[in-house]
Amino acid sequence: MNKKIKPTRSFDDLVKIMTILRKECPWDRKQTHESIKDLMVEEVYEAIDAIDQQDFEELRKELGDLLLHVVFHSEMANETQQFDIEDVIYGIQEKLIRRHPHVFEDIDADTSEKVARNWEAIKMREKGRESVLGGVPRNLPALLRAQRMQEKAAAVGFDWSEWEDVWAKLEEELQEFREAVQISDKEESKKEFGDLLFSLVNVGRFFDIEAEDSLRMTNNKFQDRFQYIEKKLAEKNLSLNDVTLKEMDVLWEEAKKTEA
Residue 157 backbone class (left: φ over 0; alpha: ψ -120 to 50; beta: rest): left
Q: Is 226 inside any structural domain? A: yes
Judgement on whether residues 148 and 89 belong to the same structural domain of the protein: no
User: What is the number of domains present in the chain?
Assistant: 3
Dihedral pair phi/psi, residue 116, rounded to 5°: -65, -40
Read off the CATH number of the domain in which 16 is found.
1.10.287.1080
Which of 4-8, 33-37, 190-194 is predicted with the least confidence, judged by mean pLDDT? 4-8
In 3D space, the residue among 223, 22, 247, 178 whose CA is nearest the CA of residue 239 turns out to be: 247
Judgement on whether residues 43 and 79 belong to the same structural domain of the protein: yes
Average pLDDT score over residue span 217-223: 94
Q: What is the pLDDT of residues 141-156, one digit of tens each?
A: 999 999 999 998 988 8
In 3D space, the residue among 193, 165, 168 whose CA is nearest the CA of residue 179 turns out to be: 193
pTM of model > 0.85:
no
Class of residue 138 by CB neighbours under 10 A (exposed 0-12, middle 13-18, buried 19+): exposed
Q: Is 14 inside any structural domain? A: yes
Q: Is 196 inside any structural domain? A: yes
Q: What is the pLDDT of residues 57-111, one digit of tens each?
A: 999 999 999 999 999 999 999 999 999 999 999 999 999 999 898 889 888 877 8
* The domain boundary residue, chosen from 50, 79, 97: 97
Judgement on whether residues 218 and 205 belong to the same structural domain of the protein: no
> What domain range is 197 assigned to?
131-209
- The answer to whether the CB of 40 falls within 8 A of the CB of 69 is yes
